[in-house]
Amino acid sequence: MTTTEDHAPSARAVTIQDVARLAGVSTATVSRALALPDRVTEATREAVLSAIRETGYTPNAAARSLRAKSTRMVLVLLPGIGNSFFTPVLNALEEVFSDQGYGVLVGYTRQSRRRETHYARVIRAGQVDGVLVVTGNVPRDEEFVAVPDQVPISLIFAGIPGGARFSVFDVDNRAAAATMVGHMIAAGHRRIAHITGPDNSIETNERFAGYCDALAAAGIALDESLVWRGAGNFDFASGDRAAARYFALEDRPTAVFAAADEIALGFIRSLKTGGVSVPRDVSVGGFDDTEYAIHYDPALTTMRQPRTEMGRLAAEDLLRRMSEKGASTPPTHVRLPCELVIRESIRQI
Amino acid sequence: MTTTEDHAPSARAVTIQDVARLAGVSTATVSRALALPDRVTEATREAVLSAIRETGYTPNAAARSLRAKSTRMVLVLLPGIGNSFFTPVLNALEEVFSDQGYGVLVGYTRQSRRRETHYARVIRAGQVDGVLVVTGNVPRDEEFVAVPDQVPISLIFAGIPGGARFSVFDVDNRAAAATMVGHMIAAGHRRIAHITGPDNSIETNERFAGYCDALAAAGIALDESLVWRGAGNFDFASGDRAAARYFALEDRPTAVFAAADEIALGFIRSLKTGGVSVPRDVSVGGFDDTEYAIHYDPALTTMRQPRTEMGRLAAEDLLRRMSEKGASTPPTHVRLPCELVIRESIRQI
DNA sequence: ACAGTAGATGTAATCGATTACAAGAATTCG
DNA sequence: CGAATTCTTGTAATCGATTACATCTACTGT
């Protein structure tokens, strides 16, 4: 009856007051003993620390944020689809941020205005000290226009057109795509198809441009019947649909550049089901080098994006920009190198 | 020079005071107009709302949390490895939590004590209203023992031994494994190997027990040379290593039950490289039904765990338990059904 | 020995909301 | 019509930390 200790949420958490009382000092001293250890006597620090140990005190986050105007949290906005691609990024982000004592709030925008507005509000409520938008899908919401001045924002994978207010960490999608298609051409391919990504994405446009560049450089005319657009997302289903396009063609390509690994994998799978073998009958190149690319059969030749490193660098940059109040580090644009990873899915002809 | 508006972080955010002043009411009324709209006149509500619109006011989260003793945030703890398995779970969690206005803080424990301690501190700092531990890896940290009384905690995928204080959402791993192995036996297999998961995990033990059950039920003696333990994690590499065990064997099994899809895929891939074909030469069954299972070649026969649904249910339960202060809903244990998904990787002999 | 300075600590204001309590206005009812 | 009740609103305390400012003590150098 008297045992309150078991499931009593009413056991009132211990506050700085309790610690101060026990240590026989003021709350100011407790606060200082924690934040600026050099500013208190060895003896008092000891007393405070021991009081803290005894009471099991943990400073209240809300109170601290309210006064210090910093929450030590960042918001990571993800599109919410094609997630396994983003997994290493999120992993890297969490690692760096939590190491520095920052919490990572994740938000999936799912390309829904409602959710974007929701997260804009989170930012405006001062709930985070910084924002990382993963993928070019920067919320177009009006709510967002005021936001960049409140906290630093960084973009990973694709910069937004008119924004020098953001740090950007991306790769040269156009050049990378051109390299891939150039590799196919060097292997003797002339009839090369391209499965594009989702219509409205920057990556899609850039990679398509790179595809065109490489063809042009080799003096190959662009054949619109080999550009398989509007495939949907960077996912298996897009590859499936593209396979239908392939089978419907009389004059089939000898190589296909898919705008993403998952598209490539879906495509290859559907081809197999239809009795077409990769790379025997047709070569396929992907983009991203997700963890499945190397384990697939055939192992996928693809462009590696350094996702983990992008995450790490972006996190470190954001950390820097968050720490310096006022005279802040200016936003940067870091373009990371891609790497052509040659495996089994493209063959010489 | 006078344009402070551009990159001025000093543009002091608008507070409830500003709104109150503009609307000609007290801050209490503004607060009520927002939280309990029925408790103010239509007219004042209008005035307040219009003042809010005009100023672009968003309530400060820290201040609100401090006073209301609720942060509307939950912590989701993930192991931090084998992430694509957890992706749908995290997705489901984010969906239902953000729909209810809760933020999702992710933490990867990476089986490191330091990180567990870190997140225990986050909880104790009152930074979250609830916790979801994904996977049985409940932090063994002493810091954690005090925590469950502070906020409700739920477990997904595996319950912790002595904890009736947590809600648990899992599947009957043992029965599911037995079903899979039973399926192999029904297909005529007698020599069946098992690639286990990581040594210390509950799932590993349960699935192994199910494997034993099925063998026993069929009167097949357990052959220790067919139990491939200590494979590491639920990942490709474990499958690779298991393939070496397979090749090293004289009397090879005709079927292999892998404790996870990724293990199965890694295993199959290594087998292929060694010239062994699945399911022609050996049948393979997986566990989980991750998104790659169906797209692989051969499409993997596996036990489907309803990951999305588990996430959703767990989130809803936690939401319920968080909302009711004091007379709280008791923790539940929900055991969800698995489903044997028959594809191509197991063949009749 | 004494003014001046540096160092340690305490007092109290503050951050921006929510909410208990009080007071005034409007409504209901006998 | 007056008392009782309900509705609306305002005043001010409060949540738990941080920190500017004040105070007091203990040195330093001349």
> Per-residue DSSP letters for B95-146?
HHHHHTT-EEEEEE-TT-HHHHHHHHHHHHTT--SEEEEESS-----HHHHT
CA angle A237, A238, A244 (to 5 degrees): 95
Residues of each domain in chain A carrying CATH 1.10.260: 16-59
pLDDT for A4 beyond 70: no
Question: Does the structure show a pLDDT above 90 at A232?
Answer: no
- The predicted-structure confidence for B86-110, as pLDDT tens digits, reads as follows 999 999 999 999 999 999 999 998 8
Q: If you count residue pairs, one on A and one on B, with CB atoms under 8 Å apart, how many are there? A: 158
Which tokens hold the place of B144? 């954690």
Q: Which residues contact B302 (CB under 8 A, 6 or more apart)?
A: B180, B261, B264, B285, B286, B287, B288, B289, B293, B341, B343
Residue A67's alpha-carbon distances to A71, A143, A150, B19, in angstroms, are: 10, 26, 17, 21
Say yes or no to pLDDT of B165 above 60: yes
CATH topology of domain B16-59: 434 Repressor (Amino-terminal Domain) (1.10.260)
Selecting from B63, B91, B127 the residue whose C-beta is nearest the C-beta of A66 gives: B63
Q: CA B292, CA B345: separation in Å to the nearest integer?
A: 13
Q: CA-to-CA distance for B349 and B342, rounded, in angstroms?
A: 15
> Tens digits of per-residue pLDDT, B177-216?
999 999 999 999 999 999 999 888 889 999 999 999 999 9
pLDDT (0 to 100) of residue A263: 95
Are A149 and B7 a contacting pair at CB < 8 A?
A: yes
Mutate to test the interface with B, among A4, A104, A127 (most CBs of B within 10 A): A127
Task: Check residue A48 and give its pLDDT.
Answer: 95
Tell me which chain B residue has its CA closest to the CA of residue A8. B149
Mean pLDDT of A18-39: 93
Cα dihedral across residues A36, A41, A47, A53: positive or negative: positive
pLDDT > 70: percent of chain A: 89
A-chain CB neighbours of B5 within 8 Å are 149
Q: Is B83 helix (H, G, I), strand (E, B) or coil?
A: helix
Inter-chain residue contact B94 with A73, CB threshold 8 Å: no
Higher pLDDT, A139 or B343: B343
- For A269-302, write each residue's pLDDT tens digit: 999 999 999 999 999 999 999 999 999 999 999 9
d(CA A112, CA B94): 14
Beta bridge partners of B286: B302
A253-274 confidence digits (pLDDT tens):
999 999 999 999 999 999 999 9
List, in sequence order, the alpha helices (H) in A252-306. 261-273
CATH number of B70-171+308-336: 3.40.50.2300
Question: Of B138, B142, B8, whose CA–CA distance to B75 is shortest?
Answer: B138
Contact B173, B336 (CB under 8 A): no
Instruction: Write out the residue limits of the CATH 3.40.50.2300 domain(s) in chain A.
Output: 70-171+308-336, 173-305
- Taking the alpha carbons at both ends of chain B, their separation in whole angstroms is 83
- Reply yes or no on whether the pLDDT at B126 is more than 90: yes
- Would you state the CATH architecture of domain A173-305? 3-Layer(aba) Sandwich (3.40)
From the Cβ of A40, is strand C under 7 Å away?
yes
Read off the tokens for B87: 């992706």
3-state secondary structure of A301: strand
CA distance linking residue A345 with residue A255, whole number of Å? 10
Alpha carbons within 13 A on the beta-carbon side of A231: 32
Tokens of B40: 């103010």
The average pLDDT across A132-136 equals: 82
- Quick check: B243 CB within 7 A of strand C? no
